[in-house]
Every structure is written in structure tokens, then in C-alpha cells.
A and B are shown apart, each in its own frame.
Chain A
Amino acid sequence: MSMTMVEKIIAAHSGKEKVKPGDLVAVDLDLVLGNDVTTPMAVNEFKKIGFNDVYDKNRIAIVPDHFAPNKDIKSAEQCKIIREFSYEKEIKNYFEIGEMGIEHCLLPEKGLVLPGDIIIGADSHTCTYGAFGALATGIGSTDMAVGMATGKAWMKVPETIKFTYTGKLNKWVGGKDLILYTIGDIGVDGALYKAMEFTGEVVDNLSMAGRMTMSNMAIEAGGKCGLIEPDETTFEYIKDIAQRDYKVYKSDKDAKYIKCYEYNVSKIEPQVAFPHLPENTRGISEVGDIKIDQVVIGSCTNGRLEDLRLAAEILKGKKKAKHIRLIVFPGTQKIYLDAVKEGIIETLIEAGAAVSTPTCGPCLGGHMGVLAKGERAVSTTNRNFVGRMGHPESEVYLTNPAVAAASAIMGKIAGPEEVM
């Protein structure tokens, strides 16, 4: 019987030969993730379950990244709860300040997310790991608590939508533009409850960074997960870092999809998502004259080395516009250090960027770049909801790192060719 990748992964983790969309099953988990916002609540629930120990000390990851390094006393208290819990339960993959990074940049780098895994994370962008051919999905604190205690979660087998990308990518167009374009096409609930499967020659040629950017935003279309079939690029990325054995699952040729979309990417130009939904996308040529106050480059969507390199390529030898606050936050300590060694950070600072230690910071309006009333930001992050980056009357425009860098130079939303 034919199955999609997701169906095969769920079947294998629930001890079943075959599952079909709509089935409700209990699955065994390969990894359970939480951060400083969601884990304190999970620790509370964990205590209520009445278990002394976590199910496996090596299969839990706890990352203080949202309000860390702590922005105030309350966030310090939250981080203290998860730190103490991690030490008490001897959680191997607890990452302290100085080792940490934005969770979805950090875990792949540590070889903790692997093909064929089922990963639940108390953070909606857990879907990022779909780029490795894993079923990775966001859940809440109660699921995290029960996952830590039992190694299990309940799951409804989703229907799968297939997205095929063919043709030749235009200059300055990458994973971010592909996924923004897709969300613009299908809407923020276009994949509600569904698994998304990204495929086609364009995806085959994307780097892991570009693939992670795409899978990262599956949730912005309402998706449960966004998977890409593992291939040589995947194996090359994980070969020296994989912490466990893994198994590769691929969709059968005659697997059933609820829907199939095909995009010829040669028609896609760099995308800009207008406030206040990621589906409000336009091509850069249709943006018009939009003055901005701040540019943010980083996050779990576009905070990888490749993204910083792209921004530096645009900003090299140039300066940001006088009135712009350009904030760059690398995804992890390793990315930060690699960027220092490559001279990327020097280029960015010379262009007038404020470079931050890894943190979620401005992405969720937490700290390190909160917007005032009426202010506008161009950001390489993934959400532009009302109040996402600060005041409810501020605005966020989502773009790729090249457009963000060009916009910083021009002081308004601008495409890279306007400054190159």
C-alpha cells in the first residue's frame, strides 16, 4: 500500500504497518524540545504527572533563547526554572548562554535532528526540521511535559499537500521567497492541519539553509509540518555530526496527496510580505515607496551563515541610511564565530549594523529592537502580525536577507539591484 513520507514516519513510530490520514495514534518521540517561554509551564505540568525522571536524558533539548540573555527579572526567573530543572534531571542538551543560539538554528547544527525522526517542540517553528525529512511539529507546554515524561505524544495523521518547484531561480531569489510566494498563493490557512511536502529540481538544488528557511515557515501556512526528502545535501550536512542512527523515508511514487501545486520559479521575484499577515505578499517590483525605520536580519528563518553572507555581500563598502537602525542577530554562537572569521561581521559593523549575541530578541518584540508606535521594520523573520515586533501600531515587512540589506542602505524597501 502506498504512503507519503509523513504517513510512513508515523506508522513506523506507532508500531503500525499502515496509517491513513485522519487516524489518531500515539507515537514514540525521538526528541522533545522547549524554550524559555514554554518550558517553565511544561516543568509545572511535568511535576503534576508524578514522574521522577524524564524518559531519556539524551532526547530532550532545552534552549533559553527568547528572552535570553535575560531581559528583565521576570525572564531571569523563568530561565532559572528551566536551568534548575535541566540540572536536576541531567538533561544533556540544555544549552546555557554562551553555548546557546536560536533553537531551530542550534539543534540542526548539533546533529540532534535527523531524517525519519518524530520531533515535537514547544515552539511553533519546530517544523524547521522538516528540511531533514523529519516529522517535526510545534506543540504546547502540556504536550512537552508529557513528551518528556513518557516519550509519547498523540497525533492525528495529516493529509499531505505536495509543492513542486521547477525552472530557474532568478538572482536574489531563495528559499525565503519561495515559501513567501507559496503562502501568498495558498493563504495563512492554506495548509491547515496538513503536512506540506516540498519537492522539485529547485528544492533539490537548495542548500540546507535554504531548505530550513522553507520548512520553517510551513506553520505560517497553517501546516503541521513541511518536509523535504533527504538526499546527498542532507547526508553531507549531518555526516560528521549526527548524534544517533536514523532512517530515511520517502514518499511512494503513487502516494496519495490531497492537493498538488506546481510553481515555475522563473516567474518569482524577491518577495515582500506586507503587514499584518505573511500571506500579504508582493513582488519587490510592486512594492512602491515605503519608508522604514529599522531593518532586522536574523532569526530561525534567516539567521544562518549563508544569510549573513548574503547581507554582507550587499552591504560591503556601503553604509546603511542615516535614520535606519540595522540590527543583525546571528542564529548561534558557531554561526557568529564563523561570520567573524569570514570577515562578515566586520563588513556589517562597518556598514553601521548593531550585531547582537544570538537571541530571539527583536523577532517577537521581546528586546533588542522593539518598535515604537507608527514605526516600520523590514525583517528577515517569519511573522508580521499586529504588535509582533513591538507597538500594536507598528508594522513589519518580511523579506529575504538581500532585500533587507538593500533596504537598510536605501532607507526604504528596496531590491538588491537598486544598490549593486
Chain B
Amino acid sequence: MILTGKVWKYGDDVDTDVIIPARYLNTSDPKELAKYCMEDIDKTFATNVKSGDIIVAEDNFGCGSSREHAPIAIKASGVSLIIANSFARIFYRNSINVGLPILECAEAVEDIEAFDELEVNIETGVIKNLTKNNEYQANGFPEFMKEIIDAGGLVNYARENWGGK
């Protein structure tokens, strides 16, 4: 799958409380959550983000709570992909489970600036910076996780593989 979009750039330790503040967690409606996405660090994000846009951040993206509302709010706001140096553990698995692609690539994070245009092949992990005319290689997913993504998320994977009862 090839994704193209404009970059929203953030720093280290973007936590789940700023991705979607707890005061909005009395709902789980994705569209409602998207309205407040990133509100506490970037008031311009929710109103200006366009479908396909890409978030690029530094270390430990998504640290904090286990709220799946965080990747869901980001996904519902139109973001197609997050690239970071590293992700917090729970955010990482939640993203895979809800089908929001994420890539780890320090080389890309260092070079990419806010509002650059990217073209990303999430199968091969090749990230092209169309603004700067540079290219970076991200780590791919391990086989097991690819199977979950290919199944269309954990729910489908579990139905097919852990059927049981």
C-alpha cells in the first residue's frame, strides 16, 4: 500500500493525555474523539489535518495510558501513518490491533520537517520525502504482526486462528 500526505511533526514523549485528553473519554465515538485530537499540544491540528496526512515524531510516541481512543482519534482525524523513532508499547500494539500503520525510522525522523510531503510504501518500509527529494528505509513488521495486519486487525485474526468455541 502506498500512502501520501503532508507531515505534522512533534517531539519526544507525545503522551496519550495530549493525543486525546481524558476529559473527552466519556465517549468512544471516533468522529467525536477526532475533534479534540492533539488539542493540548497543537490547537491547529484537529481543524487543519487532511485525510492522508502523516504524523512524524521522535522518541516514545503514545506513552501513558492504554486508551485505544488515542490511535482511534488519530486514525479518525484522517492520519494515514505515524513515523517515529520509537513507540510506547501499548500504543504500538493498539495501533496494529486497530489497523493504523506505524513505522519506526530514526533516519527519516531526523531529516523530515513539518509540512514536507511524503510517499510511503508500508510493505517495503521505503519512505520518500517528495519535498526534499530524499529516501529512507524503515524497519518492516515481524511476520506474526504482518499476519494480524493482513487479516485486517486482531479481531479478524482471532476469529480465523483462535476460533475455539
B88 A192 Cβ-Cβ under 8 A: yes
Which residues of chain A from 166 to 190 have any CB-CB distance to chain B below 8 Å in the complex?
A: 188-189
The residue from B15, B68, B89, B159 contacting A49, defined by CB atoms under 8 A apart: B159
Q: Give bound CA distance, A366 to B23, whole Å.
A: 6
In the complex, which range does the number of interface residues on chain B fall in?
35 or more
In the complex, whether B130 has a CB less than 8 A from a CB of chain A is: no
A: residues with CB less than 8 A from B are 24, 26, 37-38, 40-41, 44-45, 48-51, 53, 55, 66-67, 71-72, 74-75, 78, 121-124, 126, 138-143, 145-146, 149-152, 154, 188-189, 192-193, 219, 222, 224, 277, 364-366, 370, 383, 385-388, 392
- Write out the residue numbers on chain B whose beta carbons fall within 8 Å of the beta carbon of A45: 155
Closest 8 CB pairs of A and B: A140-B94, A140-B68, A74-B26, A142-B97, A24-B144, A189-B60, A138-B66, A150-B162
- Write out the residue numbers on chain A whose beta carbons fall within 8 Å of the beta carbon of B23: 365-366, 370, 387
What is the CB-to-nearest-CB distance from A154 to chain B, in angstroms, rounded to a whole number? Answer: 7
Interface string of B120-160 (1 = CB under 8 A from A): 00000000000000000000001111001000011100110
The residue from B41, B59, B155 contacting A386, defined by CB atoms under 8 A apart: B41
What is the CB-to-nearest-CB distance from B84 to chain A, in angstroms, rounded to a whole number? Answer: 11
B13 A189 Cβ-Cβ under 8 A: yes
* Nearest opposing residue in chain B for A34, CB measure: B66
What is the CB-to-nearest-CB distance from B37 to chain A, in angstroms, rounded to a whole number? Answer: 14
* Nearest opposing residue in chain A for B23, CB measure: A365
- Write out the residue numbers on chain B whose beta carbons fall within 8 Å of the beta carbon of A219: 90
A193 B89 Cβ-Cβ under 8 A: yes
B27 A38 Cβ-Cβ under 8 A: no
The residue from B25, B41, B72, B164 contacting A66, defined by CB atoms under 8 A apart: B25
B88 A142 Cβ-Cβ under 8 A: no
7 A–B contacts from the bound complex (CB under 8 Å): A75-B26, A124-B66, A140-B67, A140-B93, A143-B93, A192-B88, A365-B22
B90 A386 Cβ-Cβ under 8 A: no
What is the CB-to-nearest-CB distance from B154 to chain A, in angstroms, rounded to a whole number? Answer: 5
In the complex, whether B40 has a CB less than 8 A from a CB of chain A is: yes
- Write out the residue numbers on chain B whose beta carbons fall within 8 Å of the beta carbon of A141: 68
Q: Give bound CA distance, A256 to B153, whole Å.
A: 34
With a 10 A CB-CB cut-off, give which of A41, A140, A365, A385 has the most chain B CB atoms: A140
In the complex, whether B101 has a CB less than 8 A from a CB of chain A is: no
- CB-CB under 8 A for A123 and B21, given A49-B159, A142-B153, A224-B89: no
What is the CB-to-nearest-CB distance from A4 to chain B, in angstroms, rounded to a whole number? Answer: 17
- CB-CB under 8 A for A139 and B153, given A40-B28, A385-B18: no
- Write out the residue numbers on chain B whose beta carbons fall within 8 Å of the beta carbon of A277: 13
With a 10 A CB-CB cut-off, give which of A71, A123, A143, A152 has the most chain B CB atoms: A143
- CB-CB under 8 A for A188 and B89, given A45-B155, A51-B165, A152-B162: no
Q: Give bound CA distance, A393 to B63, whole Å.
A: 20
Q: Give bound CA distance, A150 to B161, whole Å.
A: 10
* Nearest opposing residue in chain A for B148, CB measure: A154
- Write out the residue numbers on chain A whose beta carbons fall within 8 Å of the beta carbon of B93: 139-140, 143
B68 A189 Cβ-Cβ under 8 A: no
What is the CB-to-nearest-CB distance from A127 to chain B, in angstroms, rounded to a whole number? Answer: 10
Q: Give bound CA distance, A48 to B63, whole Å.
A: 28
The residue from B17, B22, B94, B162 contacting A26, defined by CB atoms under 8 A apart: B162
* Nearest opposing residue in chain B for A393, CB measure: B40
B26 A72 Cβ-Cβ under 8 A: yes
The residue from A51, A142, A189 contacting B63, defined by CB atoms under 8 A apart: A189
A152 B158 Cβ-Cβ under 8 A: yes
Q: Give bound CA distance, A250 to B60, whole Å.
A: 30
* Nearest opposing residue in chain B for A26, CB measure: B162
- Write out the residue numbers on chain B whose beta carbons fall within 8 Å of the beta carbon of A224: 89
In the complex, whether B69 has a CB less than 8 A from a CB of chain A is: yes
B22 A366 Cβ-Cβ under 8 A: yes
